[in-house]
Amino acid sequence: MEKRFEISLLLDFYGELLTDKQRDIMDLYYNDDLSLAEIAENNNTSRQAIHDLLKRGEKFLFEYESKLHLLERQFFVDNVKKDIVENLNLLINGDIDIQKAVDRIIDDLKEIH
């Protein structure tokens, strides 16, 4: 996954754990695509200060992910959901009998916590 995109996703999960300022500036940089220079100017500070704040924020986000794994879980859940949808499609198309589809979907659901 592209790092920029990954950080944008991590911000969705863990943004609330950052300070308002950290979250706002990371949001401007990673989601609104403002440059360091633009953000620095809007905040009356230096590019270096914004750069340092972003790096600190990234570090926090990756630390939270290493402990809570919410993004990792999201990908896992998405895959389980895809598997359920595939089985529903087999069912609709008559390519699997009802009992078998239901058994598979029940097994899939057990994977989602």
Write out the residues near a copy of itself by the rule CB under 8 A: 13-14, 16-17, 64, 67-68, 70, 74, 77, 81, 84-85, 88, 91-92, 98-99, 102, 105-106, 109, 112-113
Least CB distance from residue 28 to a copy of itself, whole Å? Answer: 21
Give every CB contact of residue 30 below 8 A, 6+ residues apart in sequence.
4, 7, 8, 11
Least CB distance from residue 87 to a copy of itself, whole Å? Answer: 10
C-alpha–C-alpha distance, residues 107 and 113, integer Å:
12
Measured from the CB atom, the residue of 37 and 109 that comes closer to a copy of itself is 109
Measured from the CB atom, the residue of 49 and 90 that comes closer to a copy of itself is 90
Q: How many CA atoms lie within 13 A of 17 on its CB side?
A: 16
C-alpha–C-alpha distance, residues 37 and 42, integer Å:
9
Least CB distance from residue 33 to a copy of itself, whole Å? Answer: 24
C-alpha–C-alpha distance, residues 39 and 37, integer Å:
6
